[in-house]
A and B are shown apart, each in its own frame.
Chain A
Amino acid sequence: MAPVGPRSGDAIFANMERVNAELFTLTYGATVRQLLTDLEEVDEVNKQLDQMGYNIGIRLVDEFLAKSNVSRCVDFKETAEVIAKVGFKMFLGVTASVTNWDADGTCCSIVLEDNPLVDFVELPDTCQGLYYCNILSGVIRGALEMVSNTSSFAQPSIPSFLWDVSLKTEVTWIRDVLRGDDAYELQVKLVKQVPEEYPYKDDE
């Protein structure tokens, strides 16, 4: 099988245009605060953050494939590694690791060593149900769902992983430092692989 491309996203991140993480952190904080004011219910905020993440994920995958030079992944295992090692590094400048695989290789955990979203953050008692970083789970879910769609119009020279399969996943938080845990752990569960239908219609 072809190599998966870079083993880490360091070089790619170094070539990306970058901004101060504090601008990013504070802007995210302002977003969450606005959602809490508007929606009032913590559950609704979780949902909205996930939706925003999903919207980002389905767009971000284009840039990821174009800039990462990642070639086709053979299985979900490799895909998860690429997300953790290349994806997180490339966009957020942090690395994540993949652990806790289940026996059939369809469910794993992505553990974040560092998380730029949560600087300066402490959850007040009223927000204990809040998954502050829920946007991340949405991003992963969205990106995996769009994997194939992107490859259909990417230049042929860019090898992409899983050409004709869309990955439906469920992403849930297992551990969250803001809630008193010792790390950030996202469980990514592959629910099904949906073969894409050809040919693509122009209006899709």
Chain B
Amino acid sequence: MIGVGKIKQYSNVLDKPLSKGKQEVSLSAFAFLFSELVQYNQTQVDNIAELERRLEDAGYAVGARVLELLCHRDKGNRRETRLLGILSFVHSTVWKVLFGKVADSLEKGTEHEDEYMISEKELLVNRFISIPKDMGTFNCGAFVAGIVRGVLDSAGFPAVVTAHFVPVEGQQRPRTTILIKFAEEVLLTFNPFIIANCILILDSPSAKGITHSLGFMS
């Protein structure tokens, strides 16, 4: 039969060679699917906050997998263990793979030490979406916020991530800002005092085991 020969069978999905990630589908196919995801979730909730939480959950699942996939394929099974490193990984590598471009900007919050923002003039998932008036500040970018949270959390940087519309002067459509607020322990890890302590420990004979666990935690 036609086409049959082209599909190889593997007993286990892990035996299958990992794709190079160059394959593409039409933006429409994605937009249709995403729209169905949003519409389905709308039937499952009573309010906007819940809807955003559900979209974020869906995104989280994507983010966790994207981290694993990219670290394995592109980074030789290594991943970032520093805060700025992982942020720029999200802003450039992850964004480029998922959305075909580096995010428009990555900024540090001016008021709070633990806040960072990734902004995008026209977030891919919001391309074909307009929010009805009665849905207030709802932003489908919650899905992308979930992806970001999934990546950060799985890499050991727990954070609260939210998506917000920010009006831009002279533009009809607002841009979307993904606000990342790291959990307290993330910033503590980078407290110079603790890092100094770590270096001391690393000098000790049992350092190997500890570096291992540190690498895992940080």
Q: Residues on A close to B: CB < 8 A?
A: 13, 16-24, 26-31, 33-35, 38, 48, 52, 55-56, 59-60, 63, 90-93, 96-97, 99, 111-114, 116, 119-122, 135, 177, 182-184
Taking CB as reference atom, which chain A residue is nearest B23?
A: A21
- Does B114 count as interface, using CB distance less than 8 angstroms? no
Taking CB as reference atom, which chain A residue is nearest B21?
A: A22
Complex CA distance for A65 and B145, rounded to whole angstroms: 35
Q: Residues on B close to A: CB < 8 A?
A: 1-4, 6-7, 9, 12-13, 19, 21, 23-30, 32-37, 39-41, 44, 54, 57-59, 61-62, 65-66, 69, 97-100, 124
Complex CA distance for A99 and B2, rounded to whole angstroms: 8
Contacts of A113 in B (CB 8 A): 3, 6-7
- Contact B30 A24, beta carbon cutoff 8 Å: yes
Taking the nearest CB of chain B, how far is it from the CB of A11, in angstroms? 13
* Secondary structure type dominating chain B contacts: helix
- Contact B21 A27, beta carbon cutoff 8 Å: no
Taking the nearest CB of chain B, how far is it from the CB of A124, in angstroms? 11
Contacts of B65 in A (CB 8 A): 26, 29, 120
Contacts of B69 in A (CB 8 A): 22, 120
Complex CA distance for A194 and B62, rounded to whole angstroms: 42
Taking CB as reference atom, which chain B residue is nearest A185?
A: B1
Contacts of B29 in A (CB 8 A): 24, 91-92
Complex CA distance for A34 and B65, rounded to whole angstroms: 15
Other-chain contact of B32, A16, A21, A59, A93 (Cβ < 8 Å): A59
- Contact B25 A21, beta carbon cutoff 8 Å: yes
Contacts of B124 in A (CB 8 A): 19
- Contact B33 A16, beta carbon cutoff 8 Å: no
Contacts of A92 in B (CB 8 A): 25-26, 29
- Contact B13 A17, beta carbon cutoff 8 Å: no
Complex CA distance for A59 and B66, rounded to whole angstroms: 30
Complex CA distance for A121 and B61, rounded to whole angstroms: 14
Contacts of B19 in A (CB 8 A): 22, 119
Contacts of A122 in B (CB 8 A): 12-13
- Contact A90 B26, beta carbon cutoff 8 Å: yes
Q: Known contacts A30-B58, A114-B6: does B26 contact A17 (CB below 8 Å)?
A: yes
- For the complex of A and B, the 7 pairs showing the least CB-CB separation, nearest first, are A122-B13, A21-B23, A17-B27, A18-B24, A113-B3, A30-B58, A52-B36
Contacts of A27 in B (CB 8 A): 30, 33-34, 37, 58, 62
Contacts of B13 in A (CB 8 A): 120-122
- Contact A97 B27, beta carbon cutoff 8 Å: no
Contacts of A13 in B (CB 8 A): 26
Taking the nearest CB of chain B, how far is it from the CB of A10, in angstroms? 13
Complex CA distance for A111 and B29, rounded to whole angstroms: 19
Other-chain contact of B23, A30, A52, A59, A93 (Cβ < 8 Å): A93
